[in-house]
Amino acid sequence: MTIFAFTLIIATCSLFAGVFGALTGLGGGMIVVPLLVLYFGIDVHHAAGAALIAVIAGSCAASVEFLKGPYTNIRIAAVLEIATTSGAILGAHLATVLNQSLIAVLFGMVLIYASYSNLLVANGNHKHLSQPDPIAKNLKLTDSYIEHGESISYSPNHVLGGFSVMALAGTASGLLGIGSGAFKVFALDRVMNLPFKVSTTTSSFMIGVTAAAASAIYFSKGYVEPILALPVLLGVTGGGFLGARLLVKMKVKTLRVLFTVGVFVTGIQMLIKGFAGAQ
């Protein structure tokens, strides 16, 4: 295979990963890393380095579109990024001392559980606390948006619980070289009970910052190869633009199906990578 053909194939696969990542809030890195490792034989560290760079670009691309709409909550993102960036820096450092195979297996199991628990949520309905979360009230995290002519107001619940899961999401990003959008959507949607479109768009906005914190560590260790990172970056960025445009036209139920399938498949891939590395 020539370098041109290899680059074209990588860019095309990354394009689809970017579309899916933007639609579900998972981030393209969740798909790109297993794809590069399992099907193209790329070293996991270099695959992670390329994916993190692409996640930054894909997040920026998707956010350009998302910020034009009513869903992304920047104030919530700013608060939770404290947890994710701290976790990303910690995770990137831990990646050099912990067993990567064990980490992949553990996170694969968590992702599969997340996909199962997502099936229990019916039609995007959320149970809010009778009294608003005092932290959300003090930080003015309550917001609203208009959809189909109807004004929908929301206020996040369990802010501390969401903050804790976000710290785990950041650590996952540093350990595995992903944007950890699955954990972010889980925290926003299931823990903090935000509307699903708010969860996915806010997650897509956040993963770029998290990936930037982790990628700095990978770059310092020489794991970012331009010849690999460039086609991945271009594909995920283009996919991010396309996915953001498609999001506003899709139903929440469809997005939930995509999210569930995506997390389950990613979890299986993580388990395969982990068990293969342990042999």
In whole angstroms, give the CA distance from residue 273 to residue 276.
Answer: 5
For 62-112, give the DSSP string.
Answer: HHHHHTTSS---HHHHHHHHHHHHHHHHHHHHHTTTS-HHHHHHHHHHHHH
Domain residue spans of the chain: 3-278
Tokens of 40: 């193209």
Select the more confidently predicted residue: 175 or 215. Answer: 215
- Residue 166: predicted pLDDT: 94
Lowest mean pLDDT among 97-106, 220-229, 247-256: 247-256
What's the pLDDT tens digit per position in 266-275?
A: 788 778 878 8
Provide the pLDDT confidence category of residue 122 given band limits of 50, 70 and 90.
Answer: very low
pLDDT at 126 over 60: no
- Residue 167: predicted pLDDT: 94
Average pLDDT, the chain: 81
- Residue 252: predicted pLDDT: 61
Average pLDDT score over residue span 8-12: 93
What's the pLDDT tens digit per position in 43-95?
A: 878 888 898 888 887 777 777 777 877 888 999 999 999 999 999 999 888 87
In whole angstroms, give the CA distance from residue 42 to residue 222.
Answer: 15
pLDDT at 36 over 70: yes
Nearest to 175 by CA among 3, 29, 8: 29
Which residue carries 């590395």 as its tokens?
277
The Cβ-side half-sphere exposure at 55, using a 13 Å CA radius, reads 36
pLDDT at 128 over 70: no
pTM for the full predicted model: 0.75
- Residue 127: predicted pLDDT: 53
